Amino acid sequence: MTLDRQDLIERDVQAHAKSLTELTLVMSEFQKDKAVQEAKEELKDEYLEERLGRIEKSIQAVYKLGWWVLAAFGGSFVALVANFVFRGGLIIGK
C-alpha cells in the first residue's frame, strides 16, 4: 500500500468516525426531545383526568340537587293534596 493511499484511507476513517459522532449526538437529541414530549403528554393526561374527575363531581352534584328539588315539589304536592282533603275539599254537596 502506498503512503498516499494509506493517508486517504485514514482520512476516510476519520471522516466516518466524525459522521458517526455527529449521528450519535443527533440521535441523543432526538431521544431527549422524545422523552420531554412523553413527559408533557403524561402531564396533559394527568391534568385531563383531574378535570374530568371534577366535572363528574359537578354533574353528580347537579343530579343530587335535581333529586332534592323533585323531592321538595313532590312533598309539597302531597301536603297540598292532604290539606285539600282535610279541609273538606272532597265533599261534593251538603
Kindly report, residue by residue over 39-82, the tens digit of the pLDDT.
Answer: 999 999 999 999 999 999 999 999 999 999 999 999 999 999 99
pTM: 0.50
- Indicate the pLDDT class of residue 1, thresholds 50, 70 and 90: low
Residue 1 DSSP SS3: coil
AA letter at 89: G
Q: How far is CA 88 from CA 50, 80, 84, 94, in A?
A: 57, 13, 7, 11
Amino acid, single-letter form, for residue 21: T
Read off the DSSP letter of residue 93: -
CA distance 63 to 7: 83
